[in-house]
């Protein structure tokens, strides 16, 4: 399920990420989820903007890649929407465990006229009506024009968009939003309290039998929440397994990862403190994983990890498109192919071309 957004057509995802309004925090709203949904995933961009860890990581990335902000500025001008301040939240859910059958609901301020003009130019574009709603269907081409996927999108309101692969899926989502179909109950299998500050919430009342996750192959249901609240970063997961033995196996897997972390960062007291914060509890066929840490410590760890990544990146000669000459990925000179410290393309002395098989 964690690959849903990657599997949904890129055009739908792009439109979603460039939608919304700077409103109050937008926690999970079960009124947007079908009553018989088997799973849901909610991404709260307002919680992201409030996160100390994310803010620090973004500031660090801008220093490492000075062109990143400019690229987002350009995207905002082209679409009339700025994802850094406009996206409110994204909710996805499905009536079965096949992620490809899911729908995605995006809430926020949208330049509706611009988006409708853009989609009207898409390949195989056509429209259809569902009560007062107009559905748009088109074919989205993949990376570099490879393949093609069906996309269907509609505005529920000017600030609410719905995306799916078929008209039937989008219509079902619109029916829930219009109150014509039952929504998920607060005391149902996908209901329950949402932890304040949750950036990501994922819940499933059934597990895909074809899942590639070895831990979930013997799972019946799960709930995950991660985010930041009152200066603390947190992660919570509860897995309902098919048997107590399966729950014990999950505990063994988690403890194994913790042990690897201790080996990897045993000489780093701060990192080791974060690793040791993981707690596991097994009761019958249920396994609960909890982790809490000071957001400031997590932010520092993320910054150190980014520094290490940049160091390895430079040691490879800027292989992934960075500039190994000036230690940045996009200084003003690099953008013009005139880095003052380098002689190659984009300022790199030994930059290697990207190959198709590297994507």
Lowest mean pLDDT among 40-44, 85-89, 188-192: 85-89
Helices (H) and strands (E) in the chain, counts: 12, 12
Q: Are residues 323 and 308 in the same domain?
A: no
Q: Are residues 16 and 152 in the same domain?
A: yes
Q: At what angle do helices 52-64 and 67-79 cross, to 10 degrees?
A: 110
pLDDT, position 231: 95
pLDDT, position 319: 45
Residue 342 covered by a domain: yes
Q: What does 240-280 look like in DSSP terms, one character per residue?
A: EESSHHHHHHHHHHHHHHHHHHHHHSTT-HHHHHHHTT-EE
Q: What distance in Å separates the CA atoms of residue 16 and residue 37, rounded to the nearest whole number?
A: 21
Mean pLDDT on 159-180: 96
Q: Is 93 exposed, middle or buried (0-12, 13-18, 19+ CB in 10 A)?
A: buried
Q: Are residues 154 and 292 in the same domain?
A: no
Q: What distance in Å separates the CA atoms of residue 19 and residue 34, rounded to the nearest whole number?
A: 22
Q: Are residues 20 and 117 in the same domain?
A: yes
Q: What distance in Å separates the CA atoms of residue 235 and residue 262, rounded to the nearest whole number?
A: 19
Lowest mean pLDDT among 48-62, 75-89, 108-122, 238-252: 75-89
Q: Are residues 124 and 240 in the same domain?
A: no
Residue 199 covered by a domain: no
Residue 202 covered by a domain: no
**Band of the pLDDT at 333, cuts 50, 70, 90?**
low
Tens digits of residue pLDDT in 281-298: 999 999 999 999 999 999
Residue 200 covered by a domain: no
**Band of the pLDDT at 111, cuts 50, 70, 90?**
confident
Q: At residue 287, what are phi and psi to the nearest 5 degrees?
A: -125, 125
Question: pTM score, two decimals?
Answer: 0.79
* Number of domains composing the chain: 3
Determine the length of the chain.
359
Q: Are residues 244 and 348 in the same domain?
A: no
Residue 192 covered by a domain: no
**Contact indicator for 228, 199 with CB cutoff of 8 Å:** yes
pLDDT(21) > 80: no
Range of the domain at 178: 1-185
pLDDT(123) > 50: yes
Q: How far apart are the first and last CA of the chain?
A: 21
Mean pLDDT on 225-240: 96
According to DSSP, residue 32 is labeled G
Q: Give the domain-ending residue among 152, 185, 218.
A: 185
Q: Are residues 138 and 157 in the same domain?
A: yes
Q: Are residues 217 and 259 in the same domain?
A: yes
98-134 in b/e burial notation, b at 16+ Cβ within 10 A?
ebeebbbbbbbbbbeeebeeebeebeeeeeeeeeebe
Q: Are residues 99 and 231 in the same domain?
A: no
Q: Are residues 73 and 171 in the same domain?
A: yes
Question: Comparing 282 with 21, which gets the higher pLDDT?
Answer: 282
Residue 226 covered by a domain: yes
Q: Are residues 252 and 135 in the same domain?
A: no
Q: Are residues 344 and 240 in the same domain?
A: no
Residue 195 covered by a domain: no
pLDDT, position 300: 94
Residue 122 covered by a domain: yes
Mean pLDDT on 100-113: 90
- Other Cβ atoms within 10 Å of 173 Cβ, number: 25
**Band of the pLDDT at 310, cuts 50, 70, 90?**
confident
């Amino acid at each position: 399920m964690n690959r849903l957004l990657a599997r949904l057509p890129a055009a739908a995802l792009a439109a979603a990420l460039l939608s919304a309004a700077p409103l109050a925090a937008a926690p999970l709203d079960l009124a947007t989820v079908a009553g018989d949904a088997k799973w849901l995933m909610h991404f709260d961009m307002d919680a992201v903007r409030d996160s100390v860890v994310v803010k620090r990581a973004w500031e660090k990335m801008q220093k490492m890649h000075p062109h990143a902000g400019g690229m987002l500025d350009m995207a905002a001008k082209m679409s009339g929407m700025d994802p850094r301040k406009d996206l409110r939240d994204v909710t996805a859910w499905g009536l079965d465990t096949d992620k490809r059958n899911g729908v995605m609901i995006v809430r926020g301020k949208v330049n509706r006229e611009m988006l409708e003009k853009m989609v009207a130019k898409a390949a195989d574009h056509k429209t259809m009506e569902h009560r007062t709603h107009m559905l748009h269907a088109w074919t989205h081409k993949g990376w570099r024009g490879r393949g093609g996927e069906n996309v269907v999108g509609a505005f529920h309101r000017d600030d609410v968009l719905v995306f799916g692969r078929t008209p039937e899926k989008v219509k079902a989502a619109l029916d829930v939003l219009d109150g014509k179909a039952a929504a998920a109950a607060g005391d149902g299998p996908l209901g329950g309290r949402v932890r304040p500050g949750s950036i990501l919430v994922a819940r499933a009342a059934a597990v895909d039998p074809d899942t590639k996750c070895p831990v979930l192959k013997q799972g019946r249901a799960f709930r995950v929440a991660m985010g930041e609240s009152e200066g603390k970063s947190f992660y919570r997961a509860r897995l309902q397994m098919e048997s107590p033995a399966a729950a014990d196996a999950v505990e063994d897997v988690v403890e194994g990862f913790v042990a690897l972390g201790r080996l990897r960062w045993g000489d780093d007291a701060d990192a080791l403190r974060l690793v040791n914060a993981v707690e596991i509890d097994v009761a019958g066929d249920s396994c609960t994983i909890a982790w809490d840490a000071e957001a400031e410590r997590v932010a520092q760890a993320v910054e150190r990890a980014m520094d290490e990544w940049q160091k390895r990146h430079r040691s490879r000669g800027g292989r992934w498109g960075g500039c190994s000459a000036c230690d940045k990925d996009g200084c003003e000179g690099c953008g013009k192919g005139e880095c003052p410290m380098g002689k190659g393309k984009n300022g790199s002395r030994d930059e290697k071309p990207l190959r198709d098989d590297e994507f």
